[in-house]
């Protein structure tokens, strides 16, 4: 069955100029050029985008959900990284 060799590509679309490309979904295609065409047909039938990226799914390295706490939890108690942590008198005005 040919589909067995049809790689999966992740599709990212820039909706408007000035915005970042955002993940839209995935497509199957034999190579990058055809993946771009398939992505265009599948994900931009109503003017959803100005630019498309396709990336082989196999090229993505994802963090493990089990590591979520050790990766992201430590930032929760570092409130001094936020501007509201610091006191500036009202008379100083907006800073």
Partner 1 sequence: MYTQALNQKDSGPQGTQGLVEDPERLARFEARVAAEDKIEPNDWMPEAYRRTLTRQISQHAHSEIVGMLPEGNWITRAPSLRRKAALLAKVQDEGGHGLYLYAAAETLGTSREQLVEQLLSGKAKYSSIFNYPTLTWADIGAIGWLVDGAAIMNQIPLCRTSFGPYARAMIRICKEESFHQRQGYEIMLTLCRGTEQQKAMAQDALNRWWWPSLMMFGPPDAESSHTDQSMRWKIKRFTNDALRQQFVDATVPQGHYLGLTFPDPALRFNEETKHWEFGEIDWEEFRQVLAGNGPCNRERMEARRRAHDEGAWVREAALAHAAKRKARRAATPKLAAE
Euclidean distance between CA atoms 2 and 76, whole angstroms = 48
60 binds partner 1 (CB under 8 A): no
CB of 77 vs partner 1, minimal distance in Å: 21
47 binds partner 1 (CB under 8 A): no
| Selected binder of partner 1 within 12, 13, 29, 49 (CB under 8 A) | 29
Per-position DSSP letters for 27-94, written without gaps between them? EE-SSHHHHHHHHHHHH-TTS--SEEEEEEGGG-----GGGHHHHHGGGTT-GGGSGGGS---GGG--
CB of 63 vs partner 1, minimal distance in Å: 9
- The binding site for partner 1 (CB under 8 A) comprises 1-6, 8, 25-31, 33-34, 41-42, 45-46, 62, 64-66
């Amino acid at each position: 069955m040919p589909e067995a060799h049809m790689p999966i590509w992740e599709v990212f679309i820039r909706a408007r100029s000035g915005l970042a490309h955002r993940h839209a979904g995935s497509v199957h295609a034999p190579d990058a050029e055809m993946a771009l065409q398939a992505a265009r047909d599948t994900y931009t039938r109503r003017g959803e985008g100005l630019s498309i990226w396709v990336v082989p799914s196999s090229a993505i390295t994802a963090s493990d959900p089990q590591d979520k706490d050790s990766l992201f939890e430590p930032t929760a108690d570092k409130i001094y990284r936020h501007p509201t942590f610091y006191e500036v008198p009202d008379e100083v005005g907006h800073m």
